[in-house]
């Protein structure tokens, strides 16, 4: 009886694979030294295909279903072995189960930046990343032959690096040939994804794999370019730089008045705001006339005559506590008068004046004192 049980244990009569993983592509049934019993039950579940391999030679392929392994169900193996009808002996053969489900969300990304020539920014470096889905083709033999080989447990990790190389090469070539401006790439991600899906299918098919979906999720600009774009966007939101700087100066005066301890820095803050106003005026002139404020009669005229450059503001130096401060524009001096920082006796000077003079003796400044109500 013991001998009978031992012999029975050496015969395999049930062959199946219960996949408990999410990334296994091929699994070989662990036959080892045991033999498969003629008439053994083979169960192939959905999203599986079973392949019989005899001494390295591919034989029969079984689609999902339940089979009894006999000469009638194994025509190719029967021919290879030279079996005759009615063969009833155990045999040795490797059984490979191939997972035919889709393997989703396989990640890809550019390990190194892609160099390209942009029509607006010139030569720039770009990065990209995304995902793709794939599955083994209905005929699993090319995949086993070209990729898995004799591996008894093959996962997506074994081929993901090679597939990523295909993806990066195709994507880099397509991005360079598209000639699409960097700022317009985000509006073309769907088109990139669809066209690259078609372009990569043949490369994947060489390995017995079907590419079902390819997605370009993001194409990013270099950090320096993104910072420049942020600054450009901020300039567009601010709009009138002169008015913005004046508002900032008025807020600083208000904060200084509410903080006596920090009032000693008012002159320095005012100087900085004055410089900001001057820069704002220069920027405004450059926006209106990029030729540096000089009218170019040979430049093409758009929408009629080009207006002349904005005249520069008159800047005044102020003597505060015996120390020269400034120069400040008139709008800033008016704010200083209203805050009590500039009195009628304060000495001022601007280009064209022969010497320092009291503020109330300069007509352009004296008018500010008339608008200030007398003390209670």
Question: What pLDDT was estimated at residue 300?
Answer: 53
Dihedral-angle region of residue 149 (phi above 0 means left; psi in -120 to 50 means alpha; beta otherwise):
left
If one looks up domain 103-225 in CATH, what number appears? 3.30.479.30
Residue 171: burial class (beta carbons within 10 Å; 0-12, 13-18, 19+): buried
Question: What pLDDT was estimated at residue 242?
Answer: 60
Overall pTM > 0.85 = no
Q: Which residue has the tokens 């195709």?
A: 170
- Taking each helix axis as running N to C, give the angle between helix 241-258 and helix 330-338, from 0 to 180 degrees, rounded to the nearest 10: 20
The CB-side HSE value for 179 (13 A sphere, CA atoms) comes to: 0
Question: What pLDDT was estimated at residue 268?
Answer: 52
| Residue-level pLDDT, tens digit, the chain, 376 residues | 444 444 444 678 899 999 888 899 999 998 766 789 888 999 999 999 999 999 889 999 999 999 999 888 899 998 988 887 677 788 889 999 999 999 999 998 888 888 888 887 788 888 899 999 999 999 999 998 888 776 778 888 888 888 888 888 888 888 888 888 888 888 888 988 999 999 899 989 988 999 999 999 988 887 777 777 777 676 666 655 565 566 666 666 666 666 655 544 545 555 555 555 555 555 555 554 555 445 454 555 555 567 777 777 788 888 877 788 888 888 888 888 888 888 888 898 898 888 889 988 888 888 888 755 555 5
Residues of the chain with CATH 3.30.479.30: 103-225
């Amino acid at each position: 009886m013991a001998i009978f049980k031992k012999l029975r244990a050496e015969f395999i009569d049930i062959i199946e694979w219960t996949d408990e993983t999410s990334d296994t592509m091929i699994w070989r049934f662990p036959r080892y030294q045991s033999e498969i019993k003629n008439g053994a039950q083979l169960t192939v579940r959905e999203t599986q295909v079973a392949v019989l391999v005899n001494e390295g030679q591919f034989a029969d392929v079984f689609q999902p279903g339940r089979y009894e392994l006999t000469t009638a169900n194994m025509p190719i193996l029967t021919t290879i072995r030279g079996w005759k009808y009615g063969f009833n002996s155990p045999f040795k053969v490797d059984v490979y189960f191939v997972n035919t489900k889709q393997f989703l969300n396989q990640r890809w990304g550019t390990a190194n930046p892609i160099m390209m020539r942009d029509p607006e920014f010139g030569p720039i470096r770009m990065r990209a990343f995304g995902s793709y889905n794939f599955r083994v083709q209905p005929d699993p033999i090319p995949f086993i032959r070209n990729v898995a080989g004799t591996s008894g447990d093959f996962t997506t990790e074994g081929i993901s690096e090679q597939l990523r190389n295909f993806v990066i090469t195709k994507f880099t070539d397509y991005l360079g040939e598209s000639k699409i401006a960097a700022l317009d790439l985000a509006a073309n991600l769907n088109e990139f994804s669809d066209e690259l899906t078609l372009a990569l299918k043949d490369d994947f098919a060489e390995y017995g794999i079907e590419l079902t979906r390819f997605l370009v999720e993001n194409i990013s600009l270099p950090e320096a370019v993104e910072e420049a774009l942020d600054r450009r966007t901020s300039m567009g939101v601010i709009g009138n730089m002169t008015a913005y700087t004046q508002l900032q100066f008025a807020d600083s005066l208000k904060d200084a008045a509410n903080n006596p301890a920090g009032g000693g820095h008012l002159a320095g803050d005012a100087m900085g705001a004055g410089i900001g106003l001057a820069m704002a005026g220069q920027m405004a002139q450059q926006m209106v006339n990029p030729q540096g404020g000089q009218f170019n009669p040979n430049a093409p005229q758009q929408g009629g005559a080009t207006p002349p450059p904005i005249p520069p503001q008159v800047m005044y130096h102020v003597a505060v506590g015996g120390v020269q401060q400034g120069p400040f524009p008139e709008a800033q001096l008016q704010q200083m008068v209203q805050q009590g920082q500039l009195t009628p006796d304060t000495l001022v000077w601007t280009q064209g004046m022969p010497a320092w003079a009291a503020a109330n003796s300069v007509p352009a400044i004296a008018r500010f004192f008339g608008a200030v109500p007398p003390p209670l």
